[in-house]
């Protein structure tokens, strides 16, 4: 089932949680709502679920208006960050709950419910724990029970609120992969909320980056990674250097370095600042787009820096640099081979030059 | 770190504190109850039973039980409503409501009785209006019910509010998304989560209703065999030098109180079993997921 959200607005007192958000979730898609706390991602999820109601805007499921339907009528599977399992019921009773509260006419008989519960617990690999109470399970197990419980009502869409937020790193990674596999298996339209960009990128088909109640960017993980749409997305995803620069005609310059716009930022070259009138701008350069050169072979238009710290990561080396003379901290990422060729150690002076950058108005 | 280094944990201090607690309990609490029993039964079991079987005393026992039967359920319903409103919703005046509910804790029961006289008595605010309607409230059992409600109003709500606040609304929300109606959610999710606190509050409320003297004595009119509850009957018998009768009635009240206490103990044990179950350590069968116990 597809979900369409149109100009949704929601305020809590004087705080605007959502500010005219529109979004299309396609059928069978696994979508991540990514953003810092207070960005409105959880509010958006709860509005889609019918646990909150919007001040303005509409929500459609498969083109049918559900804006004023209660959570009960929307048939959504909702998974809470802190599981919200019924603590006085066994795992099996928790999973059976959604079926056992159906009106008498539509309620399956006891045997059918038991069979369905068994099937769901097998799906989440917890068949052996059916008789346990939630307090007797680990966090990861509880979250999988919560998922089985949500799936029991054969929901139209599955909504997950920071599903791995309360788990530790190891379990988190495992469950992430497991959720991805599960989704590939059942292909249910799913939306999950996270503040962890790595999680969003790894699990989702598409990612929605949110900030201050608005959507900053929607795209596949690759699109978002390769072409962040705004300064916020650059900073939220991390590993990008922010440079205050000036645009002068067809040239861009920052901290002793300068280059023709056409080479480093072709998109911006179409609308150069008028010659003679220089304009301030903000540039973002991703760590792997910052080129390091030996100081001895520094080209005329490069900036100078000193290596402060090196971190090896697989085949890559992350280099923390201090730009001279102002001491601005920059981050670069080079291959092992490059790092060896440059003989990088803390204290090594180098020349730096962005290969590509993205300009935004200051 | 050595335990002896902790403040207030010396062996001597420990002994003194335990001795004070035990002696205090014996002298102030257990001794009077033993005396009541001894005096009531002092003239033999026959005299005791005769004293109880006095129609007026029997009536007082009946009225006391009736009052509890009427007041406790009303308070349970009120307590759930108030606790739900305060714990799960946010609305203007919430803190004020919480304070108002607790007024009976700080108001002397006598004052409560007098307030009701001012409201519903013949010379009271609603007096003329009630007289016109031909309704007599003061000096009837209705007055006893009313003041008992006033005095015990916070008991159930106070037990439930902190618990419901701590539990939050997530389980109810989960039930809602799973298709449960409001009633199903209440019966199958909310009620099981609060049942021990609810019963505990009801027991405290019951004990207070049965033992209430001050407020009831002001509004009941002390009509023998009609509006005398057990505590009032005890006083009445005592003042008329009927020692055996007074102590027999008192011992009956004490027995009612002890029954309540017994029920409370039983509940606490049950409640603890529940907690123990919640906290039970679990052998994790999936090693890979064993590291994330909340």
**Cβ neighbours of A358 (radius 10 Å):** 22
Q: Which pLDDT score, from 0 to 100, does residue B292 have? A: 35
Q: Which pLDDT score, from 0 to 100, does residue A175 have? A: 86
Domains of chain A: 3-235 (3.40.50.300), 239-361 (2.40.50.100)
- Lookup result for tokens 């020349």: A351
- Pick from B92, B164, B169, B179 the residue to mutate for testing the A interface (most A CBs within 10 Å): B179
Residues of B in contact with A47 (CB under 8 A): none
Q: What's the number of CA atoms in the CB half-sphere (13 Å) around residue B22?
A: 6
Q: Which pLDDT score, from 0 to 100, does residue A60 have? A: 94
Q: Which pLDDT score, from 0 to 100, does residue B147 have? A: 93
* Mean pLDDT for all residues in chain A: 89
Q: Which pLDDT score, from 0 to 100, does residue B228 have? A: 87
Residues of A in contact with B276 (CB under 8 A): none
Q: Which pLDDT score, from 0 to 100, does residue B2 have? A: 47
Q: Which pLDDT score, from 0 to 100, does residue A41 have? A: 94
Residue A272 has pLDDT above 80, yes or no: no
Mean of pLDDT values over A297-319: 86
- Interface contact flag, A86 B290, Cβ < 8 Å: no
Residues A304 and A298: beta-carbon distance below 8 Å = yes
Q: Which pLDDT score, from 0 to 100, does residue B283 have? A: 36
Q: Which pLDDT score, from 0 to 100, does residue B271 have? A: 59
Mean of pLDDT values over A48-60: 94
Residues of A in contact with B279 (CB under 8 A): 135
- Interface contact flag, B289 A171, Cβ < 8 Å: yes
Residues of A in contact with B193 (CB under 8 A): 87-88
User: How does B190-213 read in b/e, with b if 16+ C-beta sit within 10 Å?
Assistant: beebbebbbbbbbbbbbbbbbbbb
Residue in A with minimal Cα distance to B274: A88
Q: Which pLDDT score, from 0 to 100, does residue A298 have? A: 72
- Lookup result for tokens 């102590």: B247
**Under-50 pLDDT residues of chain B:** 1-4, 273-294
Q: Which pLDDT score, from 0 to 100, does residue B294 have? A: 31
Rounded Cα–Cα distance for residues A144 and A123 (Å): 9
Residue A208 has pLDDT above 90, yes or no: yes
Tell me how many residue pairs between chain A and chain B have CB atoms under 8 A apart: 107
**More confident site: A145 or A226:** A145
Mean of pLDDT values over A4-30: 93
Mean of pLDDT values over A100-109: 91
**What is the β-pairing status of strands A56-61 and A64-65?**
antiparallel
What does the CA dihedral B96, B101, B106, B108 come to, rounded to 10 degrees?
Answer: 130
Mean of pLDDT values over A65-90: 92
**Range of lowest pLDDT (A297-301, A330-334, B194-198, B264-268):** A297-301
Token pair recorded at residue B126: 């609603």
- Interface contact flag, B277 A166, Cβ < 8 Å: no
- Interface contact flag, A86 B284, Cβ < 8 Å: no
Residue in A with minimal Cα distance to B172: A84
Q: Which pLDDT score, from 0 to 100, does residue B254 have? A: 82
Residue in B with minimal Cα distance to A160: B174
Question: How far lies B24's CA from each of B20, B113, B238, in Å?
Answer: 6, 32, 27
Q: Which pLDDT score, from 0 to 100, does residue B5 have? A: 58
Residue in A with minimal Cα distance to B183: A101
CATH architecture of B67-227+254-270: Orthogonal Bundle (1.10)
Q: Which pLDDT score, from 0 to 100, does residue B284 have? A: 34
What does the CA dihedral A246, A247, A252, A254 come to, rounded to 10 degrees?
Answer: 0
- Interface contact flag, B170 A80, Cβ < 8 Å: yes
Angle between helices B243-279 and B31-42 (to 10 degrees): 140
Residues A281 and A245: beta-carbon distance below 8 Å = yes
**What are the residue boundaries of the structural domains of chain B, listed by start?**
67-227+254-270
Query: Which among B170, B188, B280 has the least Cβ separation from residue A136?
Result: B280
User: Nearest-5° angle of CA A59, CA A102, CA A68?
Assistant: 20
- Under the banding of pLDDT at 50, 70 and 90, the label for residue A275 is low
The ipTM (two decimal places) reads 0.82
Among A322, A318, A289, CA closest to A304: A322
Question: How far lies A99's CA from each of A143, A155, B181, in Å?
Answer: 19, 12, 13
Residue in B with minimal Cα distance to A141: B289
Residues of B in contact with A128 (CB under 8 A): 285
Question: How far lies B173's CA from each of A236, A255, B33, B182, in Å?
Answer: 31, 55, 49, 10
Angle between helices A91-100 and A110-123 (to 10 degrees): 120
Query: Which among A51, A138, A152 has the least Cβ separation from residue B284?
Result: A138
How far does the CA of residue A79 sit from the closest CA of chain B (Å)? 8
């Amino acid at each position: 089932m597809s979900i369409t959200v149109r100009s949704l607005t929601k305020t809590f007192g004087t705080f605007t949680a959502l500010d005219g958000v529109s979004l299309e979730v396609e059928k069978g898609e696994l979508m991540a709502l990514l953003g810092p706390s207070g960005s409105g991602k959880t509010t958006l999820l709860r509005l889609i679920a019918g646990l909150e109601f919007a001040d303005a805007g509409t929500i459609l499921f498969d083109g049918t208006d559900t804006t004023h339907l209660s959570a009960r009528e929307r048939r959504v599977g909702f998974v809470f960050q802190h599981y919200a399992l019924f603590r006085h019921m066994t795992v099996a009773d928790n999973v059976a709950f959604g079926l056992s509260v159906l009106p008498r006419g539509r309620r399956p008989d006891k045997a059918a419910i038991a069979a369905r519960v068994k099937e769901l617990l097998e799906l989440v690999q917890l068949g052996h724990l059916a008789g346990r109470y939630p307090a007797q399970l680990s966090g990861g197990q509880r979250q999988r029970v919560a998922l089985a419980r949500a799936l029991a009502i054969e929901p139209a869409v599955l909504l997950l609120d920071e599903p791995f937020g309360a788990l530790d790193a190891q379990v988190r990674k495992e469950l992430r992969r497991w959720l991805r596999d599960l989704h590939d298996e059942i292909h249910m339209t799913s939306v999950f909320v996270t503040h962890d960009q790595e999680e969003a990128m790894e699990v989702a088909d598409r990612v929605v980056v949110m900030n201050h109640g608005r959507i900053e960017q929607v795209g596949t993980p690759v699109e978002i990674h390769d072409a962040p749409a705004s300064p916020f997305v650059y900073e939220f995803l991390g590993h990008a250097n922010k440079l205050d620069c000036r645009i002068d005609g067809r040239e861009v310059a920052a901290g002793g370095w300068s280059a023709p716009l056409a080479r480093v930022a072709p998109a911006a070259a179409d609308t150069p600042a008028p010659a003679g009138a220089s304009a301030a701008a903000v540039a973002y350069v991703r760590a792997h787009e910052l080129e390091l050169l030996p100081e001895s072979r520094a080209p005329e238009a490069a900036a100078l820096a000193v290596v402060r710290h090196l971190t090896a990561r697989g085949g890559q080396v992350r280099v923390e640099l201090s730009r001279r003379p102002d001491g601005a901290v920059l981050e670069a990422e080079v291959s092992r081979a490059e790092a060896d060729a440059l003989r990088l150690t803390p204290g090594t002076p180098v020349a730096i030059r962005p290969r590509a950058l993205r300009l935004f108005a200051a | 770190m050595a335990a002896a280094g902790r403040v207030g944990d010396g062996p001597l201090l420990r002994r003194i504190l335990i001795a004070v607690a035990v002696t205090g309990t014996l002298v102030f609490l257990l001794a009077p109850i033993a005396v009541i029993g001894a005096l009531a039964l002092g003239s033999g079991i026959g005299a005791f039973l005769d004293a109880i079987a006095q129609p007026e005393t029997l009536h007082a026992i009946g009225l006391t039980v009736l009052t509890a039967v009427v007041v406790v359920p009303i308070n349970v319903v009120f307590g759930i409503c108030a606790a739900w409103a305060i714990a799960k919703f946010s609305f203007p005046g919430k803190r004020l409501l919480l304070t108002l509910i607790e007024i009976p804790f700080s108001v002397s029961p006598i004052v409560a009785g007098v307030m009701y006289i001012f409201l519903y008595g013949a010379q009271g605010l609603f007096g003329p209006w009630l007289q016109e309607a031909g309704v007599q409230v003061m000096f009837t059992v209705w007055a006893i019910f009313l003041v008992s409600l006033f005095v015990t109003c916070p008991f159930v709500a106070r037990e439930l509010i902190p618990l419901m606040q701590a539990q939050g609304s997530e389980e109810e929300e989960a039930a809602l998304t799973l298709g449960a109606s409001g009633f199903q959610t209440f019966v199958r999710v909310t009620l099981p989560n609060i049942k021990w606190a609810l019963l505990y509050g009801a027991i405290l409320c019951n004990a207070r209703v049965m033992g209430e003297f001050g407020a009831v004595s002001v509004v009941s009119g002390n009509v023998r065999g009609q509006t005398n509850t057990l505590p009032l009957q005890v006083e009445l018998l005592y003042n008329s030098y009927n020692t055996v009768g007074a102590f027999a009635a008192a011992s009956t009240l004490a027995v009612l109180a002890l029954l309540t206490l017994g029920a409370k103990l039983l509940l606490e044990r049950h409640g603890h079993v529940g907690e123990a179950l919640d906290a039970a350590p679990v052998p994790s069968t999936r090693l890979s997921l064993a590291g994330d116990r909340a």
